Chain A
Amino acid sequence: MSTSDRHASEKGEKIEIGRIVPAGTHVEVVREILAAGQRAPGVPEDTAHTPYRVRTRGILVEETPMFGQATVLTPAGRLYTGRIILESPPDNHSFGRRHPALLEAITSIHGVLRGER
């Protein structure tokens, strides 16, 4: 599975390869800078076997098929080219759920602050 497919499927979105993304859409693009095996000297072996990639977000300049090569206008006003992998990329990191071990610590803190020990 490619990077982009994995991305879309992780979020449960339907993958529509080739769908046209309209100009003016906020998108995320990815560019491969160095292929696996071409990495900087001295990187750990596990890293050396992976490509070096960079993503950025911007406004799509011209309509482009999803996963196609696209140019975006970045917030700094630069034109940046890469393959579209996300349309309307979300910021969906969260506060998370309380892990039971964290909850145990919090419960203990509450007890101390209530003067129960």
Chain B
Amino acid sequence: MSRLHYESITSCKNEILRTSTGLDYSQFEGGSLAFDYEGLMKSVGLTLQEIARVQQDSGVGDTPLLELTRLTELVRSHAPSGMGARIFIKDEAVNPSGSFKDRRASLSAHAAKQAGYPGLVAATSGNYGAAVAAQAARLGLRSIIVQEMYDSHDRAQPEILEKGRKCEALGAEVLRATVGPELFYLLLATLQETGYFNASLYTPFSIAGIETLGFEIAEQVRCRTGRDPYAVLATHAGGGMVTGTARGLHAAGATDVRIIGVSVDLAGLHMASDRDFNRKSFTTGHTGFSVPFTTWPDRVDVPRNAARSLRYLDDLLTVSQGEVFFATELLARAEGLERGPAGNTSLAAALVLAAQLPREEIIVVTETEYTGAGKSPSAQLEFAARMGVEVVNGGPEDSGRPGEKIVIPTRLEDLRVRRVPLDGLRRAYLLRARESGFYDAELDVAFLAAETRTTPDFVRDVMSSDG
């Protein structure tokens, strides 16, 4: 390997991506920023019912919707009179590899198998690797997971080590990389060398696979309560969960349900910094991914990201690391559900939001994930302390400082959510679009209005601004 090889591989990027996804993205392009998003999604070539069948055959989906009655009672015990919405959670941990990511991987594996690829490659540091490994195994395909795992001192978060272990346990080869954006090069080189399918998190297969989750939520909530939920809370990173769930809800006719993204606040930490990498206690579902991906979704390992969260988000909230740890311990002890961090990020926000909504309303946390060694709050906090992060108890007046101080609340009523103004994210997206050099005022205004859920006038206004 050398700098020369690095440059030669990255210069063949488009060809490698076309070959490895079996998808010619240029057919959806119009020569400017705008592209045919719905056309891209239709390229999956399966109806929602057919997707559900593919997933059923792989043991994926149709997961239980659990009502968290004890947590709802606890919320009501401190909420104003008449307040305290019912909280439900979709127990996605029961999917084959332990998270909703099986939904995403199942369609990729299905597409790879049908097209005759010998295996799948995915670049991820999350549960998705395990899902790709599991779904590949079921179809007799090979899998390679490219994972950002260590800092330059060979230190890794226990949660990442667990995710790597799980991939290997499910039969995958795991390439364990140090911190850096060169992960993309590693992915490209591996795709070129193996001829495997690029099971990117951001292909239309991956996003369409999540639509069944939104559809199931609508159907199960209606069946249990006779109404639609007021809101779903989706832990937000790259945008897949928000996009796929929203599309599934819309397909079920549940178009009025509010889509609320929730991320762990990691403001101030740089995701490609060797120093900062191990000073965070969450590997995904945090603002280090959600803010850049929301404001520029196409920063991914395929030409166009099928996850476009600004099209669907009604609200974006953040919670602190300490609040998620508290929610994790509370869920285990109050409801008997020991689950991992991703869903509990949204749960922490749900516990706050429920207290602000009338009792007859319903809110749904879209996922749980499996937990175990490495993923538990105790493991992550022991590591954080070793990395020099201060871990203390505290009230709502101090939510800590990412990378320096984690504040764990001791009372449910001390949890808070912070709102990220969507208009700021929309402006950031549009300004980035303007700077891209591909913006065409004639061709792109309607597209950008759809992308940001705004109006053509809003788009023109921002595009002609000084900002």
Contacts and interface: CB of A to CB of B under 8 A. Distances in A.
Interface in B374-395: 374, 376-383, 385, 391-393
A52 B180 contact: yes
Given A56-B174, A57-B174, A109-B334, A99 B6 contact: no
A78 B173 CA distance: 9
Contacts of B334: 109, 113
A33 B186 contact: yes
B326 interface: yes
Interface string B160-173: 01100100100111
A91 interface: yes
Given A50-B178, A58-B173, A96-B380, A102 B74 contact: no
A74 to B, nearest CB: 4
Contacts of B412: 112
A102 B6 contact: no
Contacts of A99: 378, 381-382, 385, 391
Interface in B242-293: 270, 272-275
B374 A94 contact: yes
A63 interface: no
Contacts of A52: 177-178, 180, 182
A42 interface: yes
Nearest to B273: A44
B208 interface: no
B194 A54 contact: no
A96 B378 contact: yes
Q: What secondary structure prevails in chain A residues at the interface with B?
A: mixed
Contacts of B333: 106, 109-110, 113
Interface residues of A, number: 49
A57 B173 CA distance: 7
A63 B160 CA distance: 31
Nearest to B152: A50
Interface stretch (B30-38, B43-51, B232-240, B403-411): B403-411
A63 B185 CA distance: 31
Contacts of B3: 34-35, 38
A80 B408 CA distance: 44
A105 B329 contact: yes
B299 to A, nearest CB: 12
B86 interface: no
B180 A43 contact: yes
Contacts of A95: 372-374, 376, 378-379
Interface of B: 1, 3, 6, 74, 119, 142-144, 150, 152-154, 158, 161-162, 165, 168, 171-182, 185-186, 193-194, 270, 272-275, 325-326, 329-330, 333-334, 372-374, 376-383, 385, 391-393, 406, 408-412
Given A75-B168, A93-B165, A101-B392, 9 more contacts: A33-B6, A33-B182, A38-B3, A42-B181, A57-B168, A76-B119, A78-B194, A104-B408, A109-B329
- Top 10 nearest A-B pairs (CB, nearest first) are A96-B379, A50-B152, A96-B382, A76-B173, A74-B173, A96-B378, A108-B410, A93-B374, A93-B161, A93-B158
